[in-house]
Structure 1
Amino acid sequence: MSLPEAFIERLHQIVPREEIDTILKTFDAPKQVTFRVNTLKSTSHSLEVELTTANIPFERIAWLEGAYRIAPNDKLRLTQTDAFYEGRLYIQNLASMLAPMILAPQPEETVLDLAAAPGGKTLMLAGMMQNTGWLSAVEPTRERFFRLRANLENQGVTNAHTYMTDGRSVGKKCPQMFDRIMLDAPCSSEARFKTHEPKSMSFWSIHKAKETSKLQKRLLLSAYDALKPGGKLLYCTCSFSAEENESPLHHLLQRHGENLTTLPISLPFDNIQKPLERWGKEIFDVRIQNAVRILPTDTIDGFFLCLLEKKPS
């Protein structure tokens, strides 16, 4: 199945012209499988010994301690290991690992994952917090909520408190409560399209991206309300569209820009792009230029990240 024509046309307007052919090819080929050690149950050294004993060849990710990649045809064997079943490793795209790394929660802090299922980022947050402090994980959909809880239990997370509730209500219920907040917002998942998996893009439309943007704007406002003065908020999506990235951030900064700053993000690779300055008639707040759009490769999915800080009272 081919990518939607409307999606390709929009992608041409978003990513650099010289990168478009390379980017389009990433939707066709299987990506390398990436995973990381669960530091709540194991160490990098112990996991490497397990993988070597199981005769699974792996390569370390140089810029992220405890992260690895293997060839796609080794994924089945990896999922048959005790390390996988017992939660000592977690399969996750590198882009998703970046979000907790950039938010950088500390032990004993109060942290919120506002759209938490299936729980991979929540698990990484818990590991960085060393299972201390208070980690709230919110998921409104029943089936995804129980999958989140099962994943956290299997992975040995004990500092997380899970809530089946709408993230749009959290800011009013918990005003200025959290030191750090992650909002990996529900999105159209454009960066996860696969031409060999028609289902991955069967529900996509420009209309859906615009409708999702409305939800993202309300979630961002809720996150702002829940953030302590001096706290940090990470907004991210696995979509390319400006409606789901720059536009919700612009909306937040228009509402609360006097109390927010955006922080520069430094990444250890060069397949990145500055955010758009405008989309159609909408001209975005210049502070959004501190965000970053990751361009997909055979190892990492496309992703968008913006780190904000609420000014101290």
Structure 2
Amino acid sequence: ENMRLHAAENVRPFFQDGTLTWRHRPEYFDRVLLDAPCSSEGRFRADNPETTRYWSLKKIRDASRKQRRLLYSGIQCLKPGGRLVYSTCSFAPEENEVVVNKLMKKFPQALRIVPITMDIAALRAGLTEWEGRVFSDDLSLAGRIVPDDLMDGFFVCCIEKTESTVTP
């Protein structure tokens, strides 16, 4: 229904465990959209304590593990020259920059971060360091959207695959 609503054409959704898709479709897709399950910190509201009711550090740790597997699978499914957009509605660096940075370190020659350019006043640069951990400077090209009256908090990163990551 959402694809029809937004007039999305040439879209082929796959309904399976996303962490395993790469085994069935290596370097198959031109584009991958990965809106990863997350802790939903970007949806917290100061005026509504209910929004934090189910949050926990464990939820961040669990989400981060799944996100790493999903992002790895998404990149392995992507054709060289293709782009993957990774997003969460979380502020936790463990779910965002840490996840992307690990992947960039695994495939340093095969991936590059594409700048996020949106005309949104609440858009901020991605983090390049956090709690003593230093990330790739290229992570500043990712986007963090600070929540306001119009939008929830959000993280988005576009990754281009410049060469194959699949080993024979």
Q: TM-score, normalised by structure 2?
A: 0.89
Query: Could you list the per-position Cα deviations for residues 17-67 of structure 1 after superposition, in whole angstroms to 9, with x for gaps in the alignment?
Result: xxxxxxxxxxxxxxxxxxxxxxxxxxxxxxxxxxxxxxxxxxxxxxxxxxx
Amino acid aligned to 1:136: P
Offset of residue 197 of structure 1: 6.1
In the alignment, the residues of structure 2 paired with residue 289 and residue 209 of structure 1 have an alpha-carbon distance, to the nearest angstrom, of: 22
1:197–1:306 distance in 2 versus 1, CA, 3 Å: same
Unaligned runs of 5+ in 1: 1-118, 138-162
Offset of residue 257 of structure 1: 2.1
Offset of residue 134 of structure 1: 4.3
SS at match of 2:106: helix
Query: Which residue, out of 176, 183, 196, partners 2:48?
Result: 196
- Is residue 2:126 matched to residue 1:249? no
1:266 counterpart residue number = 117
Query: Could you list the per-position Cα deviations for residues 161-206 of structure 1 after superposition, in whole angstroms to 9, with x for gaps in the alignment?
Result: xx2x2110001111001000000000001111244361x3222112
Query: Which residue, out of 145, 151, 154, partners 1:300?
Result: 151
1:276 counterpart residue number = 127
1:128 counterpart residue number = 8
Unaligned runs of 5+ in 2: none
In the alignment, the residues of structure 1 paired with residue 4 and residue 36 of structure 2 have an alpha-carbon distance, to the nearest angstrom, of: 17
Structure number with the higher helix fraction is 1
In the alignment, the residues of structure 1 paired with residue 147 and residue 66 of structure 2 have an alpha-carbon distance, to the nearest angstrom, of: 25
1:286 counterpart residue number = 137
In the alignment, the residues of structure 1 paired with residue 95 and residue 72 of structure 2 have an alpha-carbon distance, to the nearest angstrom, of: 14
Offset of residue 228 of structure 1: 0.5
Using CA pairs under 8 Å that are at least 6 residues apart, name the structure with larger relative contact order, 1 or 2.
Answer: 2
Query: Rg bigger for which structure?
Result: 1
Offset of residue 123 of structure 1: 4.9
1:273–1:134 distance in 2 versus 1, CA, 3 Å: closer
Query: Superposed, which structure 2 residues align to 1:72-221 within 5 Å?
Result: 120=2, 122-123=3-4, 127-129=7-9, 133-137=10-14, 163=15, 165-194=16-45, 195-196=47-48, 198=50, 200-221=51-72
Amino acid aligned to 1:262: I
Amino acid aligned to 2:17: D
In the alignment, the residues of structure 2 paired with residue 289 and residue 123 of structure 1 have an alpha-carbon distance, to the nearest angstrom, of: 34
Amino acid aligned to 1:224: I
SS at match of 2:67: helix
Offset of residue 128 of structure 1: 3.4
In the alignment, the residues of structure 2 paired with residue 123 and residue 197 of structure 1 have an alpha-carbon distance, to the nearest angstrom, of: 35
Query: Which residue, out of 205, 220, 231, partners 2:82?
Result: 231
Q: TM-score, normalised by structure 1?
A: 0.49
Offset of residue 240 of structure 1: 0.6
- Is residue 2:157 matched to residue 1:311? no
In the alignment, the residues of structure 2 paired with residue 134 and residue 265 of structure 1 have an alpha-carbon distance, to the nearest angstrom, of: 22
Amino acid aligned to 1:246: E
Amino acid aligned to 1:272: L
Contact 2:32 2:83 (8 Å CA) reproduced: yes
In the alignment, the residues of structure 2 paired with residue 261 and residue 123 of structure 1 have an alpha-carbon distance, to the nearest angstrom, of: 31
Query: Superposed, which structure 2 residues align to 1:13-24 within 5 Å?
Result: none
